[in-house]
Amino acid sequence: MARIASYLLAAYAGAVLLSKGLEREGLLVCDCPRDCWCHRPGLSVFRWTFPVGHGGAD
């Protein structure tokens, strides 16, 4: 069980790093409102891996 959890954690961390890299390259562009939570410092890393209530949806 712990092995599965650590594997998922590593995969999630990889996805976070990948999305940050794509964002830095301009391949991922966020078009959500300026008051979206993902613009807060420290939360932008979760912009693509935890896209809840974000993405300009209404």
* Angstrom distance (rounded) from CA 47 to CA 52: 9
C-beta of 18: minimal distance to Zn ion in Å? 18
* Choice between 28 and 36, CB closer to Zn ion: 36
Q: Which one among 36, 45, 46, 49 touches Zn ion, defined by CB under 5 A?
A: 36
DSSP classification of residue 3: H
C-beta of 2: minimal distance to Zn ion in Å? 33
* Angstrom distance (rounded) from CA 23 to CA 45: 10
Q: Which residues bind Zn ion (CB under 5 A)?
A: 32, 36, 38, 54
